[in-house]
Structure 1
Amino acid sequence: MILALAAYLLPDAKLPFGQPSFQVGPAPQAQPPALPNQLSAQTREVFTASRPATVRVESLNPDTRNAGLGTGFFISQDGLVLTAYHVVSGGRLFQISTLSGKTYPATVTAFDAQADVALLQVTRAPDGGFPFLPLAPRAPRVGEAVLAIGNSGGDYLQPRQGTLLGLNAQAGRADFPQGTLEMNAPLSPGDSGGPILDPTGQVIGVVSYISLDGSGQTRRSYAVPVEEGSDLITALRAGEKRDVPVVGLILDPVHSGRVGGAVVSGIARSSPAEKAGLRGSTFDRDGTLTGLGDVITSVNGQRTGDADQVITAIRRARVGDTITLGFTRDGQPRTTQITLVPRASVPDLQQ
């Protein structure tokens, strides 16, 4: 059920836009650690040492008036903050709040949208810099205890503990990061982007998404593995911005797979898909479906039976590549060639 019940851990809000300094949620308070007696002595030591380097990340888009709140952590003394990409992907203004209650403006300097990680730079670091967390130089081990620090449930930089259950977990959704760490730590919205710490206090992962059971409770939590010196971290430190390639399709998850391919529900405005003449489904004034859109049946000659397969095939290419989409319209097979663009350049889309 991960496919149907997976969710990123970022709450959204609609807020009035004011000054560059803004507040998404209540002003952060340096609360005492929650459930300190349920943490082992070693875990309490790791939490106490790591908490000052963990932060609340707030983002705001003054155009859409959308805001979001997540978690992040310093990885350098001069104010580099690692977080989840989906925490900051919809924002234009960013603010970091520390355990001391101080806030700092920040900018996104690098990201990898496919891996769901981003790097921010605090624009006005204080004298003496910030405390920061070391990234583990080794791969994590299944069965070891893990500690998350996050901002969910109205808490501020509180501990969530668990066990590392598996490596290289697959999300079950093509638009979520693959190859993640699987844990049973009880994470929830607001924890995204926070650190996953091993028993020595080194960071082994960045919180990304959860899977839920039928009652909406967290079943498993997942983090993107980060290892010092890895290609991912090296690229972020170098300032690379890696967006995912898209064509501008909004896919129908309900009907896709039932009609021999992925049903196009809608087309993003000013997208390559719109320029290529692809068509979405039609609806009446009440929003009732009156007709299915084009059905994507292949990408570069590879058969695609549902929406996830279309997304996976497109993401094997790169921004700037030209791909061939096979589709049917009114039962008739057709093809079109489309040049892929970065997701950030096309609003309101899935793929």
Structure 2
Amino acid sequence: MRRSPWIPIFVLLAIGLYFAPREGGRAIDFNLNLNPLPQLESSLKLPADVETLFKKSRPATIRVEQVGNDGSQSIGTGFFIDSKGTFLTAYHVIEDGGHVNVTTLSGMRFTANVVGFDVARDIAVLKANVRGTVPFLPVARNEPALRSPILAIGNSHEQFLQPRLGRVLQYDARAYKFDFPQGTVMTSAPLAPGDSGGPIINTAGEAVGVVSYIQLANSDLTPLANSDDVQTVASFAVPVTRDDEIFNAVLNGEKRDVPVMGVTESNHAELYDVEGAVIGNVTPSGPADRAGLRAERFLPRRDAGGELTRRFSADVIVAVNGERVRDFNDMAFKIRSQRIGDTVTLTVMREGKQIDVAVKLAARKALEN
């Protein structure tokens, strides 16, 4: 007698149901992530008081996985801030869209949805689709004291929710790149890619910051968005406190983008003998394009021997609202200080002539859609 092919199928289904998550939530819906669960590792040798703080705080932290619409995947960290599954992470961890999944210390996996974000501040609030309650970290009322010890928990170096210790080195740190958050807390915690979005925890077990970026040994800044091994000189976290206006706005669902005009920097800026922001590309139908700014192009010319060659030609922004611009980074800082919908007046050098161009700024996401 021929054996029914449905028997092994039913057996597999039964096994699957037996091991299905019971903590609640939708186990990743149909945006399946076939990566194995991260393995728990023994923690570093910690002082007794820090070990206690780590064991108490660790269940409230999570691994955050974003699966992009193109199939790409990034891994960061986050932490629950209430018992219903609301969590904080860095905006750059989830900014590419697609599906967001989280993994808890107990190995449970849930999908998550974006509640609010602030791009300039590099923070995002999401809600994991849990049932029941989850452990969480209370958000502090005040920033930690200078030189005070802090604990970070993250997922760098292919580890799972491991401790990183450090101290507060500086308040109100200024990043020298326009697309990094300003006014951060500098710490000595040895963070690396995978730790982004994780908590900075004070000795009372409260979250006082969200990990954002690091400074490498060669002085470069990186938003912890790759898996390369790094040597960290300093790490930077966005401060969060219960009474912070931006944190509460994002928690209540505001989605704060940054103003842009739709230009990128030329790769040949050093060839132009002028101080200012040399424009490389202009986004089609974006604010700069509609205002008449020109992308970099090649123009024909004849050299001294009469041979026909080409030269670069680009619009160079030398002032924003009358304020001089040193380079593209300086120009972008000035644009980000405006609001979406504002109209700025650019002073532009074009083929040796100075012109004024009015540009109405748009939200960054509007240009990407």
TM-score interval (norm. to shorter): 0.7 to 0.9
Instruction: Choose 306-315 or 270-279, whichever is displaced more.
Output: 270-279
How does the TM-score come out when normalised to structure 1? 0.86
Q: 1:221, CA displacement in angstroms?
A: 0.5
In the alignment, which residue of structure 1 is the partner of 2:261? 247
1:233 to 247, 256, 260: 247
CA deviation map 1:276-299 (0-9, x unaligned):
232222379xxxx95142111111
Which secondary structure state, in structure 2, belongs to the residue aligned with residue 42 of structure 1?
A: helix
In the alignment, which residue of structure 1 is the partner of 2:68? 61
**AA of the residue aligned to 1:93:** H
Identity of aligned residues (%): 41
Call closer, same or farther: CA 1:138–1:272 in 2, change over 3 Å. Answer: same
**AA of the residue aligned to 1:270:** S
CA deviation map 1:71-111 (0-9, x unaligned):
10000111111000111111222111111111111111100
In the alignment, which residue of structure 2 is the partner of 1:21? 31
Which secondary structure state, in structure 2, belongs to the residue aligned with residue 105 of structure 1?
A: strand
Which secondary structure state, in structure 2, belongs to the residue aligned with residue 65 of structure 1?
A: coil
**AA of the residue aligned to 1:29:** P
Distance 1:60 1:71 in 2: 14
Distance 2:274 2:353 in 1: 13
Q: 1:20, CA displacement in angstroms?
A: 3.4
Call closer, same or farther: CA 1:58–1:344 in 2, change over 3 Å. Answer: same
Distance 1:101 1:306 in 2: 48
In the alignment, which residue of structure 1 is the partner of 2:130? 125
**AA of the residue aligned to 1:31:** L
CA deviation map 1:112-152 (0-9, x unaligned):
11100000011x3122x111101111121111111111111
In the alignment, which residue of structure 2 is the partner of 1:81? 87
Instruction: Choose 184-193 or 270-279, whichever is displaced more.
Output: 270-279
| Structure 1 residue 328 corresponds to structure 2 residue 349 | yes
1:44 to 51, 63, 85: 51
Distance 2:43 2:236 in 1: 22
Which secondary structure state, in structure 2, belongs to the residue aligned with residue 22 of structure 1?
A: coil
Instruction: Count matched residues.
Output: 321
Q: 1:254, CA displacement in angstroms?
A: 6.6
| Gap runs ≥5 in structure 2 | 1-27, 220-229, 300-309
Call closer, same or farther: CA 1:307–1:336 in 2, change over 3 Å. Answer: same
CA deviation map 1:150-171 (0-9, x unaligned):
1111111111111111111111
In the alignment, which residue of structure 2 is the partner of 1:342? 363
Q: 1:183, CA displacement in angstroms?
A: 0.9
1:150 touches 1:190 (CA, 8 Å); kept in 2? yes
Which secondary structure state, in structure 2, belongs to the residue aligned with residue 275 of structure 1?
A: helix
| Gap runs ≥5 in structure 1 | 1-17
1:104 to 100, 107, 110: 110
- Structure with greater contact order relative to length (CA < 8 Å, sep ≥ 6): 1
2:61 touches 2:77 (CA, 8 Å); kept in 1? yes
Distance 1:144 1:126 in 2: 37
2:139 to 110, 135, 138: 135
Compute the RMSD of aligned alpha carbons.
Answer: 2.2
1:197 to 197, 201, 208: 201
Distance 2:273 2:181 in 1: 26
Call closer, same or farther: CA 1:100–1:269 in 2, change over 3 Å. Answer: farther
**AA of the residue aligned to 2:59:** P
In the alignment, which residue of structure 2 is the partner of 1:279? 294
